[in-house]
Amino acid sequence: MLVVIDYGVGNLFSLCRSLEAIGESPVVTGDAAEIARADRIILPGVGAFGDAAAILRNTGLDKVVKERAAAGVPLMGICLGMQLLFDKGYEFGEHDGLGLIHGKVVTLNGYIPKEQKIPQMGWNALHFPSPEKKAACPVFADTREGEYVYFVHSYYASECEADTVAVCDCGGVPVTAAVAHKNVVGCQFHPEKSSDAGLAMLKGFCRGEFKGE
Amino acid sequence: MITKRIIPCLDVRDGRVVKGVNFASLRDVSSPVELAEFYSSSGADELVFYDITASSDGRRLFADILRETASRVFIPLTVGGGIREVEDFDRVLKCGADKVSVNSGAITNPDIIPRAAEKYGSQCVVLSVDIKRVDGSFHVFKNGGRIDTGLEAIEWIRRGVENGAGEIVVNSIDTDGVGGGFDIEMLRAVCDAVKVPVIASGGAGCTEDFIKLFKEVPDVDAGLAATVFHFGQIKIPELKRVLRAEGIDMRL
């Protein structure tokens, strides 16, 4: 069972339709017991880090997500969901994330050259610095170097080189686009809005074999 | 680098795509869902749907069309037309829109921008502005370009961004439907005033117009057009190849 976690953060319409388009039947739920039974989990999200992290904590969903991830269940965070996988987020203050990927989420402001617009909104090309890391993550099995995906974000994951699978170029500096650690994957971009390239990644997540499973 | 975007715009009335020339004389073109799928598979970077329906029946039809399109087309979808209240954001976002474009609604109800930005995030709030030169200055027009509000356009846009608009669509009434090229002067003025993405609309007649747009206004993020795409005068894959060959960043 594929679960898309519904915790009131963001719009799940496109994500669910894109999963259906690749032949999946996602179950949208915020129920911890149901999430605990999932064999694939997607953590979506749009909005501010602190608010979303607080919802996960207050509903106890943080515990079930961490527990299932530790048990080897493939977990994919998308956009804010990806950022929440990290140790900490610094959007309007300092907030604890799920701590499944080491690193922190900080503002693009001051990192990317100032003529670059924030939010980064639009299509950008994925670069895979390490062929080994790319090959180890089934999400990107059918993704070519330079593939374009759709981004909308003002914050980015930093100090996470060890788990970075893909980056994009923002005015000459690399911005974390995808991270993976064993069965935990995060995409800063929106695969559900990235046309065929994105659908292939979702398929890779839903059907691929993860090490550490 | 973030690429420049090519965006076909679909005006939808009673479930069908239409496109006005100078905002009048509508011509029926095609089925919105089919057209959206066609554009998505031919490399459009994003789609804009404008609901130009007046009746509630038409509005229901539009919701169905939107839901069906968003179930089959997986690129960003912006929806505009008839957005007057924050509740209208909710209505179209639930049907699969990613961004919501406000035009006249922001003039009659200026609170809509800050309230929607707070609720859904700035990335979701697009301020669309119909602009026409009046006595040498840029005026904001409303109601499909029929009524001069007297508002100075650059100041209006600057205020919109301060209030939370995350993207601006500049529609030049002076160049719209004429096919003589985008309004370079107007677009430069807007790009100089704000730092959020700016989409150029109104005036595309041929491939060269897009080259000129991105070369002469390097800060502009996207070119939007309807007629030239719907009638096949410009084919998007070919347009994007030419633009890339000209050194403009394009997703191919």
* CATH code of the domain in which B72 resides: 3.20.20.70
Give the span between the Cα atoms of B223 and B205, in whole angstroms: 12
In a domain, A212, yes or no: no
Total number of domains constituting chain B: 1
pLDDT values of chain A reduced to their tens digit, one per residue, 213 residues? 999 999 987 779 999 999 999 999 999 999 999 999 999 999 998 888 999 999 999 999 999 999 999 999 999 999 999 999 999 999 889 999 999 999 999 999 999 998 898 889 999 999 999 999 999 999 999 999 999 999 999 999 999 999 999 999 999 999 999 999 999 999 999 999 999 999 999 999 999 999 754
In the predicted structure, residue B26 carries a pLDDT above the cut 80 = no
| Cis, peptide link before residue B237, omega less than 30° from 0 | no
Task: Look up residue B165 and give its two tokens.
Answer: 């608009």
When pLDDT is cut at 50, 70 and 90, the band that residue B21 belongs to is very low
A92 touches chain B (CB under 8 A): no
In a domain, A21, yes or no: yes
- The β-bridge partners of A125 are A148
Range 17-56 of A in CB contact (< 8 A) with B: 17-18, 20-21, 46-47
* Structural domain boundaries, residue A23: 2-207
In a domain, A213, yes or no: no
Task: Look up residue A22 and give its two tokens.
Answer: 């690749």
Provide mean pLDDT across the span B44-50.
95
- Across the A:B interface, residue pairs with CB atoms under 8 Å apart total 82
Range 121-160 of A in CB contact (< 8 A) with B: 121-125, 148, 150-152
Average pLDDT, chain B: 91
Give the span between the Cα atoms of A16 and A20, in whole angstroms: 6
Q: Mutate one of A13, A114, A199 to test the B interface: name it (highest B CB count within 10 A).
A: A13
In a domain, B252, yes or no: no
- The β-bridge partners of A123 are A150
Total number of domains constituting chain A: 1
In a domain, A191, yes or no: yes
Confirm if B94 and B77 have CB atoms less than 8 A apart: no
In a domain, B250, yes or no: no
When pLDDT is cut at 50, 70 and 90, the band that residue B30 belongs to is low
pLDDT on residue A185: 98
* Structural domain boundaries, residue B190: 5-245
- B133-160 pLDDT, tens digit each: 999 999 999 988 889 999 999 999 999 9
Helix, coil or strand: residue B20:
strand
C-alpha Rg value of chain A to the nearest Å: 16
Q: Residue A139, Cα to own-chain centre: how many angstroms?
A: 11
Provide mean pLDDT across the span B47-54.
88
pTM beyond 0.95, yes or no? no
* CATH code of the domain in which A164 resides: 3.40.50.880
